[in-house]
Structure 1
Amino acid sequence: MEELITLKEFIQQGKIPEALELVEELEEMSKSDKLNKIFSYGIILLLHLIKKVAENRTTKSWQVSIFNSVKQIQRTNRRHKAKGTYLTEDELRETLQDAYESALRNAALEAFEGTYEAEEIDAMVNREEIIEMAMDLILERQSTDGTSED
């Protein structure tokens, strides 16, 4: 809020270069906040996809968490007025790759009642396939039979 007051003062004083610099800073802060939210929901999404693949099963709770995480990522990434997205497809993939290690560590605590270490869970799944599953869900890609892939 303080930044908006400062911005207003810069504009009233005719300090346009300072105002523009502050606007750029505010844009960066907003994008950083959105990136952090997408990263956090990405961990949850990847966690449940890892458990689903490693255990070769799913639960209603996992499915709801997957659905909610996907919706929150889509919602956070969507630019409402300008249309489009904050993160490109490549940036989104990079964010999921960054989130993978945290998701894997969480999956080790939850999958198979916590009996395996993260490295052992990692050996049970294909990292790139998990990330691609997440991308397909987020981007709402359709499988060949016309249904959304889970």
Structure 2
Amino acid sequence: MEELIQIRQFIQQGKLNEALQIVDELEEMSLSDKINKIDSYGVILLIHLIKQNAEKRSTRSWEISIQNSVREINKINKRKKTEGYYLTNEELLQILEEGYPIAIKRAALEAFEGRYEAEELATMVNRPAILSQAIELFKI
């Protein structure tokens, strides 16, 4: 709220460059927030895709979690007014790749009742296929 007051003051004073700098900062903060949310849902998505890949099965709970994660990521990534997206498939893939190590650790706690360490589970799954499957679910 303070930023909006500052923008108004700068505009009234004719300091457009200063006002635009604050707008740029607000846009960057907004995008950063969206990326953080996408990362969180991306990790959840990967956990369930990893479990499916490792155990060669699925459950209703996993399917619903996958659907919910995809829905939320698509909702967060969708630009409301311009009908575009904030992040490209390449940028989404980068976020998923960065979240993959966390997802494999968390999936190791759940897959096969937690019998395998993250490193062992990682050798049991096809990382590129999982990442590819995740990107395909976004349909951008």
Structure 1 length-normalised TM: 0.91
Q: Residues of 1 paired with 2:68 and 2:134: CA distance?
A: 12
Distance in 1 (CA, whole Å) between partners of 2:139 and 2:96 is 13
**Letter in structure 1 aligned against 2:46:** L
Give how far 1:6 is off: 1.3
Alpha-carbon deviation of 1:103? 0.5
Distance 1:91 1:44 in 2: 18
Q: Kindly report structure 1 stretches of 4+ aligned residues shifted beyond 2 Å.
A: none
Identity %: 58
**1:1-150 equivalences in 2 (<5 Å):** 1-139=1-139
Deviation of the 1:77 alpha carbon: 0.4
RMSD of Structure 2 on Structure 1 (CA): 0.9
Q: How many residues align?
A: 140
Comparing 8-17 with 19-28, greater Cα deviation is found at: 8-17
**One-letter code of the match for 1:98?**
E
Equivalent-residue separation in structure 2 for 1:132 and 1:27 (angstroms): 29
Q: Secondary structure, in 3 states, of the residue corresponding to 1:14?
A: coil
Secondary structure of the residue aligned to 1:40 is helix
Letter in 2 for 1:91: E
Whole-angstrom distance in 2 between the partners of 1:31 and 1:93: 16
2: distance between equivalents of 1:125 and 1:2? 49
Deviations 1:79-117 (A, max 9, x none): 010221000111111011011111101001111111100
Taking the aligned partners of 1:126 and 1:71, their CA distance within structure 2 comes to 24
Looking at structure 2, the residues matched to 8 and 93 of structure 1 have their Cα atoms a distance apart, in angstroms, of 38
The residue number in structure 2 matching 1:148 is none
Q: Matched residues in 1 for 2:52 and 2:126: separation?
A: 12
Q: Could you tell me which runs of 5 or more consecutive residues in structure 1 were left unpaired when the two chains were aligned.
A: 141-150
Q: What is the TM-score normalised by the length of structure 2?
A: 0.97
Distance 1:113 1:2 in 2: 50
Q: Which has the higher helix share?
A: 2
Structure 2 gap segments, 5+ residues each? none
